[in-house]
């Protein structure tokens, strides 16, 4: 969709997709040259549509009159009417060219992926073309790729590279095929993840680290923007490679928007990436394009192979991973006394901040000096190990989200217990479902 605008000069595009969500959560995504619609753009579009309906005397939801379908009637009035154009072959051409140029193979210039086995798991979304139209024509063996045919009921696994079921399926297929690489997409290919030849699942922090290693080699010292729930090990990894890490907010639009803003201010920022698997590059018009990230990984894989370096997974050898990590999602129920869930969420956050600041959680807990949303708390563990917690409001839902990580085993449970105690003591009268915090 973005490609049709950026490369083909169209004014806008609309996609019908469930994205990474279940089959019954289809929605519409709108794009213009400025990127995806913001909430305010959607609001003004709905306003315009309702005014148009009112002007035509059409009731929204009425499907009986000729003018009922506003979009169809608007398109029908266009000179030239409606044409069908298949952009996918052009987009596939573009991605193939990138790989041909990026690998620059002397031996097989037009088939630079000869000798490589790559498995794609498209989760029955739209990403199957990446195997058949991008990798295979370049010489890759794609045997073992799975769920390439679109099926809107997503019968095989949750089509989200953030979800363990998607990664387990991709890893299993990659090792079963003895492949050099596995690639996992969500249904509309704006989220991706990879699997290395040993079946190691590279999503979330690991995928950001891997992309950081690639981008920092190309752009030494660049700034990398991520979302707020990234681990301490990732920040250390980026710093050790000479990069600057800005841990911003959750939400890929927030992350990408921040990267654009920094570039506009003259701060060179080449990679913007979220733990959800959304990632955008400055070189690719700041589009969150999972296929483009996969292209970069494939080029890196071949580049390393040709220059006698190890497997792509070895780029992560120095990434320190937490011993434990967990996420808890606590529902906020509006009550007559507190009808606005955002306000309730903010009250909890304020009290949480005050509780930590006043030493309620003990001397080892301290508020991180940089917070762009909610409160990130650092915990000093034994022998220099570190833990952290982030309590924030969900981007879209009436939820408080708590992420907890520790570098020592058994600690996540302790930290979670303390947060539960805080909730029970300090948030009485607010309808927060704390049950997830007491689950083992």
Ligand X SMILES: O=P(O)(O)OC[C@H]1O[C@H](O)[C@H](O)[C@@H](O)[C@@H]1O
| Residue with smaller CB distance to ligand X, 367 or 395 | 395
| Residue with smaller CB distance to ligand X, 396 or 440 | 396
User: In the 8-state DSSP scheme, what is residue 344?
Assistant: H
Residue choice 158, 323, 347, 395 for contact with ligand X (CB under 6 A)? 395
* Number of residues in contact with ligand X under rule CB under 6 A: 11
| Residue with smaller CB distance to ligand X, 106 or 396 | 396
Least distance CB 354 / ligand X (angstroms)? 23
The residue whose Cβ lies closest to ligand X is 394
73 binds ligand X (CB under 6 A): no
Question: Do residues 157 and 23 touch, judged by C-beta distance below 8 A?
Answer: no
- C-alpha 297/C-alpha 409 separation (Å) is 32
The interface mask with ligand X, positions 302-331, x = CB under 6 A, is ------------------------------
| Residue with smaller CB distance to ligand X, 254 or 269 | 254
Residue choice 163, 245, 247, 278 for contact with ligand X (CB under 6 A)? 278
Stretch that binds ligand X, among 34-42, 85-93, 233-241, 391-399 (CB under 6 A): 391-399
| Residue with smaller CB distance to ligand X, 124 or 226 | 226
**Which run of H or of E encompasses 88?**
helix 88-103
- C-alpha 394/C-alpha 342 separation (Å) is 9
Nearest in space to 254 (alpha carbons), one of 78, 27, 36, 439: 36
38 binds ligand X (CB under 6 A): no
Least distance CB 280 / ligand X (angstroms)? 11
Q: Which residues of 147-186 are buried (b: 16+ CB within 10 A; e: fewer)?
A: bbeeeeebebbbbbbbbeebbebbbbbbbebebbbbbbbb
Least distance CB 100 / ligand X (angstroms)? 32
185 binds ligand X (CB under 6 A): no
| Residue with smaller CB distance to ligand X, 250 or 282 | 250
394 binds ligand X (CB under 6 A): yes
**Which run of H or of E encompasses 304?**
helix 290-306
- C-alpha 420/C-alpha 426 separation (Å) is 10
| Residue with smaller CB distance to ligand X, 272 or 412 | 272
401 binds ligand X (CB under 6 A): yes
Listed in sequence order, the residues at least 6 apart from 314 whose beta carbon sits closer than 8 Å to its beta carbon are: none
| Residue with smaller CB distance to ligand X, 99 or 326 | 326
Least distance CB 163 / ligand X (angstroms)? 12
User: In the 8-state DSSP scheme, what is residue 392?
Assistant: E
- C-alpha 328/C-alpha 434 separation (Å) is 9
Listed in sequence order, the residues at least 6 apart from 142 whose beta carbon sits closer than 8 Å to its beta carbon are: 117, 118, 119, 120, 131, 132, 135, 136
Helix axes 204-218, 232-240, angle to 10 degrees: 10
| Residue with smaller CB distance to ligand X, 330 or 377 | 330
Question: Do residues 404 and 325 touch, judged by C-beta distance below 8 A?
Answer: yes
- Which residue intervals of 125-249 are DSSP H helices? 129, 164-177, 204-218, 232-240
Residue choice 231, 276, 284, 403 for contact with ligand X (CB under 6 A)? 276
Least distance CB 351 / ligand X (angstroms)? 20
Least distance CB 331 / ligand X (angstroms)? 11
- C-alpha 387/C-alpha 312 separation (Å) is 28
Residue choice 38, 62, 314, 397 for contact with ligand X (CB under 6 A)? 397
- C-alpha 41/C-alpha 35 separation (Å) is 11
- C-alpha 17/C-alpha 98 separation (Å) is 27
The interface mask with ligand X, positions 255-274, x = CB under 6 A, is -------------------x
| Residue with smaller CB distance to ligand X, 116 or 208 | 208
- Assign 259 to helix, strand or coil: helix
Stretch that binds ligand X, among 146-154, 210-218, 348-356, 393-401 (CB under 6 A): 393-401
282 binds ligand X (CB under 6 A): no
- Assign 28 to helix, strand or coil: strand
| Residue with smaller CB distance to ligand X, 180 or 190 | 190
**Residues of this chain, 198-257, that bind ligand X according to CB under 6 A:** 250-252
Least distance CB 140 / ligand X (angstroms)? 29
Binding site for ligand X (CB under 6 A): 250-252, 274, 276, 278, 394-397, 401
């Amino acid at each position: 969709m973005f490609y049709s605008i950026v490369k083909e000069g169209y004014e806008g595009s609309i996609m019908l997709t469930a994205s990474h969500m279940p089959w019954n959560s289809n929605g519409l995504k709108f794009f213009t040259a400025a990127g995806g619609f913001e909430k305010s753009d959607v609001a003004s579009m709905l306003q315009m549509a309702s005014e148009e309906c009112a002007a035509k005397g059409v009731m929204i939801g009425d499907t009986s009159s000729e003018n009922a379908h506003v979009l169809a009637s608007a398109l029908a009035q266009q000179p030239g009417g409606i044409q069908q154009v298949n952009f996918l072959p052009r987009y596939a051409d573009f991605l193939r060219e990138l790989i041909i140029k990026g690998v620059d193979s002397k031996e097989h210039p037009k088939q630079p992926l000869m000798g490589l086995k790559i498995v794609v798991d498209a989760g029955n979304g739209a990403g199957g073309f990446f195997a058949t139209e991008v990798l295979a024509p370049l010489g890759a063996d794609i045997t073992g790729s799975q769920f390439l045919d679109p099926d809107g009921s997503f019968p095989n696994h949750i089509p989200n590279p953030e979800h363990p079921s998607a990664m387990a399926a991709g890893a299993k297929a990659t090792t079963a095929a003895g492949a050099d690489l596995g690639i996992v997409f969500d249904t509309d290919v704006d989220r991706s993840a990879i699997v290395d030849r040993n079946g190691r699942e590279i999503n979330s922090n690991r995928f950001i680290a891997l992309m950081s290693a690639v981008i920092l080699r190309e752009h030494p010292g660049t700034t990398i923007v991520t979302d707020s729930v990234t681990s301490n090990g990732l920040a250390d990894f980026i710093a050790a490679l000479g990069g600057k890490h800005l841990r911003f907010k959750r939400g890929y639009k927030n992350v990408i928007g921040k990267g654009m803003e920094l570039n506009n201010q003259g701060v060179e920022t080449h990679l913007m990436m979220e733990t959800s698997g959304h990632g955008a590059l400055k070189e690719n018009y700041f589009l969150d394009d999972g296929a483009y990230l996969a292209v970069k990984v494939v080029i890196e894989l071949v580049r390393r192979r040709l220059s006698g370096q190890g497997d792509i997974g070895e780029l992560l050898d120095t990434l320190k991973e937490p011993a434990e990590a967990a996420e808890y999602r606590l529902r906020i129920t509006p009550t007559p006394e507190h009808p606005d869930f955002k306000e309730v969420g903010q009250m909890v956050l304020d009290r949480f901040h005050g509780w930590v600041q006043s030493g309620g959680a003990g001397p080892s807990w301290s508020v991180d000096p940089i917070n762009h949303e909610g409160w990130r708390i650092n915990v000093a563990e034994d022998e220099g190990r570190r833990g952290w917690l982030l309590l924030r409001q969900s981007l879209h839902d009436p939820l408080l989200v708590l992420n907890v990580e520790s570098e020592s085993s058994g600690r996540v449970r302790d930290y979670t217990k303390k947060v539960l105690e805080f909730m029970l003591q300090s948030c009485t009268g607010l309808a927060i479902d704390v049950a997830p915090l007491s689950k083992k």
